[in-house]
Amino acid sequence: MKPLSKHIRNWKSLTLIGSIGLLLYGCALSKAPEHSDIVNETLSSKATIPPTWKAGSDTISVSNDWIKTFQDPELEAIIKEAVANNFDLQKAATNVTIASQNVIVVGSKLKPQIGLNFGYSSLIDDNNQGAFGSSKGLGLIAWEPDIWGKFRANRSASEAYSQATTLDFKYAKQSLVAITAKSWYQSVEANQMVAFSEEVVALYKNMLELVITRRNLGKVGDIDVAEANANLDEAQNGLLQAKGINEETKRSIEVLLGRYPSAEIKTVKNFPILPLAVKTGIPSSLLERRPDIMAAELLVVSAFRKEEVSRLNMLPSFSFNLFGGLLSDHILSLLKLNPLMLSAGIGMSVPVYTGGMLKAEVQIATAQQQQAIANYGGVVLNAFQEVENGIMYENLLSQSLALEQKVIINRTEAVRIAKLKYQAGSIDLLSVLQLQNALIASQKNLISLQNEQLANRINLHLALGGNY
């Protein structure tokens, strides 16, 4: 057996080596790019963020809970159901779990890895009718100190990616709420189109009866009856299409809610009153409010850390190992020996020649970092575009609705006068039908414009990053 003093000298040597490693372990990581750095590097002088929105707006901060501004309890109920049961959102939630657990996996490289191995073996000697048993209990501690910061950089990259995934999930939830709300009001449009199409069918039936009466009186010919019948058939076909669109819309809502698409969901028939104008805030605040923009910024940070990891991979790595325990072996069992062993060591790995792999990995990581920066710029400009368009259409759709209502008033009067003239025999049926069809088209357009106005309002809330 070795003298105790020799064991102590060995442990002192190991302690010295470990201390050196711990001192080197303090190497700091490179400073990650800050928000202002990313914005300045991404947006050129041509994409300078203006102090106010170009389409015109106020500078009052964006408010949350925008769903409540519609004062629609049925809408709030189905949104709650969609958030709870939508499968796409559930899939996005699993991505958050995966990313957060991956941080733990990557971070585990910073800690020592400990393993244990226990066992028992028995050797039976038939000649001597003896049995020899031995047990083993082995332990291994392995640790690679993060001298250069490679593992810390990798963990930092995973943390940034995990945070980005969480923000992506938040934006996915906001998008689901917006899609559900738009689908809900699209069903209102579909309901109104069905009801209006039924009115059009009744209108052309009355028109056909009038034409037949005038034909029987000898005031018009069979050509007018044929034309009136054709318009009635066309109106009935339009009713069938409206019913089909209505059922399709209901099925889309049911799928969003996680229900079977049976087109049995009860929807409302009237649009809500458009809420007051949206508070839009200043453009620069969008960068720190919209989840998808903040997620894209974190992906830049993650790519920066990944590039740092690729460079640190070119440096030497060190490892510490401690192995010990009771050794088990059949021969040792015969000799009635079961020795206690203890082994410790330090190793170093130096990449000398890798066929250009490490340099290529640096180039790939650098390109991926540039890709993340470009992606951030695209996400930012797309977000600005969505807000600018939303503000613009707020004004245009409001004006368009007012004009369309005037068009309907004027065309209604034109149709009334045309029918009187037709009954008096001063104009032909074709002129009446042309005016009637124009009026019907305007009335359908008014219904669509009401839905477009609500959909644009919802899109604007989503574009501004307002939470529901």
Q: Per-residue pLDDT tens for 29-68?
A: 888 889 998 998 888 777 899 999 998 877 788 888 899 9
Q: Which among 170, 244, 74, 106 is positioned nearest to 466, based on CA atoms? A: 170
Torsion of CA 327, 340, 333, 120, to 10 degrees: -50
* Cβ(184)–Cβ(254) below 8 Å: no
Q: Containing H/E element for 151? A: helix 150-216
* CA of residue 216 relative to chain centroid, distance: 66
Direct distance between the N- and C-terminal alpha carbons of the chain, in angstroms, rounded to an integer: 74
Is it the case that residue 206 has pLDDT exceeding 70? yes
Kindly list the domain boundaries of the chain, sorted by start residue: 1-27+112-145+317-350, 31-111+146-316+351-463
| C-alpha distance from residue 27 to each of 305, 308, 389 (Å) | 15, 13, 49
What is the arrangement of strands in the sheet containing 317-326, beginning at the earlier edge strand? Answer: 113-125, 130-143, 317-326, 340-349
- The full length of the chain comes to 468
Q: How many CA atoms are closer than 13 Å to the CA of 173, on its beta-carbon side?
A: 18
Q: How many Cβ atoms are within 10 Å of 211's Cβ, its own excluded?
A: 25
Q: pLDDT tens, 58-101?
A: 778 888 889 999 999 999 999 999 999 999 999 999 999 999 99
Structure-token pair, residue 5: 């003093």
Tell me the pLDDT of the chain averaged across its residues. 88
Per the CB < 8 A criterion, the answer to whether 17 and 346 are in contact is yes
457 and 274 Cβ atoms separated by less than 8 Å = yes
Cα(466)–Cα(468) distance, integer angstroms: 7
| Bridge partners, 141 (sequence order) | 114, 322
Eight-state DSSP code of residue 113: E
AA identity, residue 227: E
Tokens 């779990």 — which residue? 97
**What is the C-alpha to C-alpha distance for residues 345 and 319, in angstroms, rounded to an integer?**
8
Query: DSSP letter string over 59-112?
Result: -PPPPS-GGGGG--HHHHHHHHHHHHH-HHHHHHHHHHHHHHHHHHHHHGGGS-
Report pLDDT digits (tens) over 427-458. 999 999 999 999 999 999 999 999 999 999 99
Answer yes or no: is pLDDT of 285 > 50: yes
Residue pair 272/70 in contact by the 8 Å Cβ criterion: yes
**Among 292, 296, 283, CA closest to 375:** 296
Tokens 């339009």 identify what position? Answer: 238
Q: Which pLDDT belongs to residue 11?
A: 44
Kindly state the tokens that stand for 65: 């809970």
Which CATH number is associated with domain 1-27+112-145+317-350?
A: 2.20.200
CA distance linking residue 271 with residue 71, whole number of Å: 11
The number of helix segments (H) and strand segments (E) in the chain equals 10, 4
The answer to whether the 1-27+112-145+317-350 and 31-111+146-316+351-463 domains have the same CATH topology is no
Neighbouring residues of 447: CB distance < 8 A, sequence distance ≥ 6? 189, 192, 193, 196
Position 353 pLDDT exceeds 50: yes
pLDDT in tens, 124-169: 666 655 666 667 778 889 888 988 989 999 999 999 999 999 999 9
Beta strand residue intervals within 243-316, DSSP E = none
**CATH class given for the domain over 31-111+146-316+351-463:** mainly alpha
Residue 361 pLDDT class (50, 70, 90 cuts): very high
pLDDT tens profile 179-189: 999 999 999 99
